[in-house]
Amino acid sequence: MEKELEKWHELHKFYLYSGKYQTEELAKFLGVTPRTIQRWLKEKTKPNLKQIRQINEYLMQKQDPQNNRI
């Protein structure tokens, strides 16, 4: 699970700074508050495995369809 969490942190930074989504959008998709996501990013708490899978699903939807890479 740690690997998945590290991957998400990197993807989050990439998409956040590229302007492709906001923390609020991800929070709404997951059914959590933006504060919860902030806690995850600061490593005060961690998302569970189901949430990590949902995060990956969300980020995959944000991929550029012409460039199928993250």
Separation CA 60–CA 67 (nearest Å): 12
- Contacts of 59-65 with CB under 8 Å at 24 or more apart are 59/8, 59/11, 59/12, 59/15, 62/15, 62/20, 62/21
Termini Cα distance of the chain = 20
pLDDT, greater one: 4 or 53: 53
Has residue 36 got a pLDDT over 90?
Answer: yes
Domains and CATH numbers, the chain: 2-61 (1.10.260)
Distance of CA 65 to the CA centre of its chain: 18
Q: How confident is residue 1, by pLDDT bands cut at 50, 70 and 90?
A: low
pTM: 0.67
pLDDT for 64: 58
Mean pLDDT confidence for 53-68: 73
pLDDT, greater one: 63 or 51: 51
Beta-carbon-side half-sphere exposure of residue 53 (alpha carbons within 13 Å): 3
